[in-house]
Each structure stands twice: as C-alpha cells, then as structure tokens.
Amino acid sequence: MMKNRSVKQIMYAQEVTMGEMPVRQPFPTQSVDQINPFLLLHHHKTTIEGGSHPRNMGVSPHPHRGFSPVTFIIEGDVHHRDSRGNSSVVEAGGVQWLNAGMGINHSERPSKKLAENGGVQEIIQLWVNTPQINKMDQPLYQAFSKEALPIVSGEDGLSEVKVVTGEFNNVKGPVISFSPMLILWGEVKSNGKVKIDIPTDYNASVYFIKGKAHVKNFGVIDDLNLMYFENDGDQITIYAKEENIQFLLIAGKPINEPVVSHGPFVMNTQTEIMTAMRDFQLGKMGVLIEEF
C-alpha cells in the first residue's frame, strides 16, 4: 500500500541578486542549508531587448569544481561554452548538466539569435553535489534537447513528465548522475494528476514553476514555492485543478559527507577549497576564450 508523504516545509522563492542578475531562490535559506544532495535552486526570468549582443548578457566565464550545475531552459535558450571545448545552444524544454569534476571554466549566455531578435529567457539552475570519490573526475558536459528527453504521458492524457535522471514508470532518464536520484520536469493540464513513487530514503522536494497546484496531504500551493517533504512515505501526488501547472521534482539519496563551499567550489574540507582557489588562479581549470 503506497503512502503519500507529508510536507515538512514550504519555501517561497525570494528574490536575491547574484552579481547583477536577479534570481528567485527557494533554498538555501537561513533554516535550510541544503536538501541533500541538492545545494541550491535559482529561478531566473528576464526579457531581452532585440538588437543586443550576447557578449553583454548572461553569465561571463567563471569556474566550478566538485558539483554539477544543472540548467533547465523554460523559455528562450542558453548558449553554454567551456574550457574543455564544448559549445552548444539548448532551447526551451531542454537541459544542460555540467559535472564540473576537478574544475572547468564555463559561460552561460543567450544565443546570438535570441539576443538579436529579443524575447524572454527563463531558466532554473540547480546545484547537485558530487560524492567525494567523484569530485576530482574529469569534467563531463551533458546536453539534451526537449526532443531527447523521454516523456511519460499520464493515462488521462492530461500530463507529460520529462524524465531527466533516474527512473519513472519504467522510463529511464538519459543524464548520468553520480549518486542515486530522480529528477522530473512535469506539466499537468487542468483536471489532471500525477502520482510519483519515490524511495523512502530519498530526500524529496517539488518546485512549482507555474500555476496553482493541489498536493495530496497538504492542499493548495501557489507557484514560485518549493515544497520540501518528510521521509514518511513513498509517493507524492500532484493535481492540477483550476489551471495548468508546471513543476520540477528533485529527489535523491543523501550524500552523507561533509560539505564545505566557497563561491563556485563545493568540496569536503577547507583545505580542498583553498586548493581549488589556488588551482583556478594557476590556470589548472582551463581557459575559456569566447568566440561570438
């Protein structure tokens, strides 16, 4: 008999500033440092004026080590470039997953086409921790278009759930992750519902991107809120009643290791952080010279 999880906490995505970029951040907060193995979630939406140059937009080259920044493109596109020679544009509905490993420099900007034509760019970025044994692996960039992500359609024809990583209804996601997890990106039309089975030892939360949803064992929740669940069941049921909804479910087995972070580096000790900073300054994470 499946049991629906109860809700531990609701976290509204408050607006914060990253550099000069305004983003919504449901976690971390003062009371919730991480939802292990997930470190951070940012939701960014901006309108790009036509006639712009991508060089002046987005996020310029910067390093990472020890975790995976993952970008979900809701609207518009993102052009990823990195110091390992990867350069790719992923459009709406697609996902970019960068396992930074031992260190990499990358940039994230709108494409030339989006900058020239103008339009909305809306993304979610999730930081996923990497187990200690894999933190110094070679970097790995994985990019999947909307068409490359498998979709599980609901029996009622009112829901579509993209499987990013892990397994849902016997469908496996294409992304390689370094610890057990389930990430689903779903849309449910009015009067539809989705039932999601989750192992009891996974921490689980759902970020509601668009629309007012109903969740079993809780009730109504507005968009721009993250629902963090107790580990007291093996299922989460989400309903769309009055309006269509879009959500991101992130669930994973905790990595029970120390976490020490400083800016773009996430390691296990302060000494490893100091080493990462030194290695970056010495150019050991590569150089990214962007070409436009």
Residue 43 lies in a domain: yes
Amino acid occupying residue 146: K
Q: Are 226 and 206 in contact (CB under 8 A)?
A: yes
Verdict on whether the full-model pTM lies above 0.75? yes
Residue 270 lies in a domain: no
Residue 39 lies in a domain: yes
pLDDT of residue 121: 97
Residue 61 lies in a domain: yes
Q: Are 214 and 265 in contact (CB under 8 A)?
A: no
**Rounded Cα–Cα distance for residues 34 and 192 (Å):** 31
Opening angle at CA 216, ends 210 and 221, nearest 5: 30
φ and ψ at 262, to 5 degrees?
Answer: -150, 110
| CATH number of the structural domain spanning residue 145 | 2.60.120.10
Residue 90 lies in a domain: yes
Mean pLDDT by 10 residues, the chain (292 residues): 95 90 95 97 96 92 98 98 97 98 97 97 98 98 98 95 98 98 98 97 98 97 98 97 96 98 97 98 95 88
Q: How many CB atoms lie within 10 A of CB 149?
A: 18
Residue 264 lies in a domain: no
By residue range, what is the domain housing residue 194?
7-252
Residue 103 lies in a domain: yes
pLDDT of residue 219: 96
Give the total number of structural domains in the chain: 1
**Rounded Cα–Cα distance for residues 51 and 60 (Å):** 19
φ and ψ at 85, to 5 degrees?
Answer: 95, 0
pLDDT of residue 65: 98
pLDDT of residue 66: 98
Partners of residue 267 on adjacent β-strands: 260
Opening angle at CA 202, ends 197 and 206, nearest 5: 65
Q: Read off the pLDDT of residues 140-170 as tens digits, 9 standing for 90 and up.
A: 999 999 999 999 999 889 999 999 999 999 9
Residue 149 lies in a domain: yes
φ and ψ at 46, to 5 degrees?
Answer: -145, 155
Q: Are 179 and 252 in contact (CB under 8 A)?
A: yes
Q: Read off the pLDDT of residues 211-258 as tens digits, 9 standing for 90 and up.
A: 999 999 999 999 999 999 999 999 999 999 989 999 999 999 999 999
pLDDT of residue 19: 75
